Structure formats: C-alpha cells, structure tokens
Amino acid sequence: MQILGIETSCDETSVALVEDGRFVRANLIASQTQLHAEFGGVVPELASRAHIQKLIPMIDECFFQTGIGWDDVDALAVTQGPGLVGALLIGVETAKALAFARRKPLIPVHHIAGHLYSVMLVDPERPVTILDAAGNETPTTDEPLTYPYIGLVVSGGHSSLVLVETPSRFKLLGETVDDAAGEAFDKVAKLLDLGYPGGPIIDGLAAKGDRARFKFPRPMLNRENFDFSFSGLKTAALKLVQETTLARLKEDEKLLCDFCASFQEAIVEVLLRKAAAALDFYELRSLAIVGGVACNGRLRRAVPEYVPGARVVFPPPILCTDNAAMIAGLAFHRAAGHDACTLTLNAEANLPLVAE
Ligand code: KG4
Ligand code: ZN
C-alpha cells in the first residue's frame, strides 16, 4: 500500500511516499530556517506562505523522483495537529482538495504520534540507531522495538514522555509545563547571540566544553511525576550571562563552550533521568528518543550513564526533525475504515494525543 504524506505543522514543508507503513520511497523536506533566522524564531504568517509556495511543486517532485503516480497512491495522510494553525491549514486543505479530486481516502495523523512512529521507518541509506544496554551502537533496518515502549519526544514545540502501546494507542505520562527542550536551547542561544536554531549551535560548542564548570538547576527532577519544566533553566542561564557579561562570553571561547556544555548537560540529564524513571515505573526496557533534539550529540552519548540497561533507539537525524514520512508511515496503521475523503476534516492547533 502506497501512502502520500503531507506535513506542514511548523516551519518544514514535507511530502513523502511510504510503502506498507515502513519503506520510505521519498521524503522531501523544505526547511524554512533561513526565512525565520533573522527574526530569531518562527513567524507564523511567513511559514504559511512558504508552505503554499512549496507544497504542490514538492508533491510533483516526489512523483518524479520515485516514478510513482497518482494511480499507484492508495491514500493520502496529513498532519492534523498540533502545530501552528495557519501552517497546518495549508497542509489539511491541500490534502482535502487532492483527495477529493483524485478520489482517495484521507487519513488525519497526530504530529506527535508521527514522531513516535519515526523509529519504525526503513530507509536503507539512513538506518535507525540502536544503543544496547552496554552502550554499543548498531544501525538497523529491522523493526527496532516491540510494543509497548516508552517514547521521549523532544523538539522545538514539545517535550513529552509517552507510553506507546501500539502505533496508535498512547498514554501521555508527562509533558512540559512551560518551555519545550528545543525551545530552551533556542532561547538560550538567542541570549548568547549565537543564531537560530540554537540547538545544533549549542551542541557544537558544548562538544568542546567542560560540562561540570557551571552548576545549572535540574528542574523537576525530584518530583514524582513525568512532567518537565525548562523555563527556570532559561532564567538561570540569563542570570549567568548577566553576571559573566555577554562581552566576556563572546571573547573567551573556552568560557562560552563551558557555558554551553554545562547548560546542555542540565537538559540532557533531566530528559534522560525522567525517561529512565518512566521505564522503571512501567517495567519496560525499550525507549525511543524522537524529535529535533534527538539529534543532540551529548543526549546520544549520555544514554549509558543516565539510562543504564535499556535498549534505546534513535531515528536518523533526517527523521528526527519534522518530516512527512512519519505521517505517511503511521497512516498505514489507521487506513482501515478510511474509504472516503473527509471534507469536514479541520486543522487543530492543540489536538490532544489520545488513542486514535
Ligand atoms: O522536531 P523539530 O524539527 O521541530 C519541531 O517540531 O519543533 O525540532 C526543532 C528543534 C529546535 O528547537 C532545534 O534547536 C532543536 O530541535 N535541535 C537540537 C539539535 N538539532 C535540532 N537541539 C539540540 N541539539 C541538536 N543537535
Ligand atoms: Zn515535530
């Protein structure tokens, strides 16, 4: 079964063709990072406009690259939410129009459910990575996890811990009460005048730094729940920048790298310790870490230290950030019962993650 997926929830326009829910035939992503960089964050109106310009040419390109045509497509899938409502609307309305015109079923998909599914996709050139209990890394194109598993979703918009029972049955265990992990990276990078998006820049500087030099708080670590909070960490970073002065941080590279490494370690430790606590609580050993922040180098290397004994799976970086392959892949498991195009489908900015 061939599913055409569309993802426009934030600042990446993405179109993908996925076969039988697993095999990625094409996964095109047009990032708008350059467009938003000068504003230091995503500007919703600009995001929507760029999605409009890119979407149809990208669908054509997807067909051109794969040789697959409309006749071979069994269904369409689209991200219904959560996300920026204007951005989501472009994807949803385009998908509805195409499904109606081509007489194809249309399957709405939850963005976070898509991220959680991203570890199940097979792209032979970009396999998922399994970290075993001893910390050995193995690339695989086999199904890397069996259900149930714990999912840690960490991106610019989300930090959530989820018990994943089947591709579309979830229990939300906890989420951020304020900033998302990626948002904390981006905001602190902005404080340090490093550029946007901040996560990869801080990751690069932190690799040369001493993560024990500065003491940053480990928010909510001792609370007996699985929620996160990163805004206090951002305030601590602001205080340290003010005490140290931005000028000194800018002229002393070692100081800047130590700052980044120490800040990053606080986020990594909180994320991984909470994930470890969720594994213990549910007596599970399998963890999938997904979303843009899953690209973080230290997050990957710190797994044996903070989540000992677990089997931890990371998607390849291209499937960590927003992509339509995860949407098309998951839709395969929800295809039954979707025989007609749903013209009443609406984008939902705050779509809850419930059993679908
Ligand atoms: O999943 P994603 O592409 O979009 C959202 O749904 O938000 O995630 C983007 C986020 C940004 O906040 C970015 O700074 C962060 O992921 N990110 C990273 C790294 N690469 C991307 N954060 C830390 N380290 C990285 N290497
Ligand atoms: Zn995302």
Q: Each residue of 42-91: pLDDT tens digit?
A: 899 999 999 999 999 999 999 999 999 999 999 999 999 999 999 999 99
Please indicate whether residue 292, judged by its CB atom, sits closer than 6 Å to ligand 1. Answer: yes
- Reported pTM: 0.94
Comparing 336 with 253, the larger pLDDT belongs to: 253
Q: Which atom of ligand 1 is nearest to the CA of 321?
A: 3
The pLDDT, as a whole number, for residue 339 is: 65
C-beta of 179 in contact with ligand 1 (< 6 A): no
**Which pLDDT score is estimated for 125?**
84
Cα dihedral: 139, 141, 142, 145 (round 10): 60
Q: Which atom of ligand 1 is nearest to the CA of 186?
A: 14
pLDDT band at 293 (very low <50, low <70, confident <90, very high): very high
Report whether pLDDT(356) > 70: no
Q: Is residue 135 pLDDT above 60, yes or no?
A: yes
3-class SS of residue 153: strand
CA of 253 relative to ligand 2 center, distance in Å? 32
Compute the distance from residue 197 Cα to the ligand 1 centre, in Å.
Answer: 7
Residue 160's SS3 state is strand
Mean pLDDT of the chain: 94
> For residue 102, what pLDDT is reported?
95
Ligand 1 mean position to 18 CA, how many Å?
24
The mean pLDDT of 167-177, rounded to a whole number, is 94
Give the span between the Cα atoms of 203 and 170, in whole angstroms: 31
Q: Which two tokens stand for residue 223?
A: 């609370």
* 341 band by pLDDT with thresholds 50, 70 and 90: low
Q: What is the 115 CA–ligand 2 centroid distance (Å)?
A: 7
Average pLDDT value for residue range 189-212 = 95
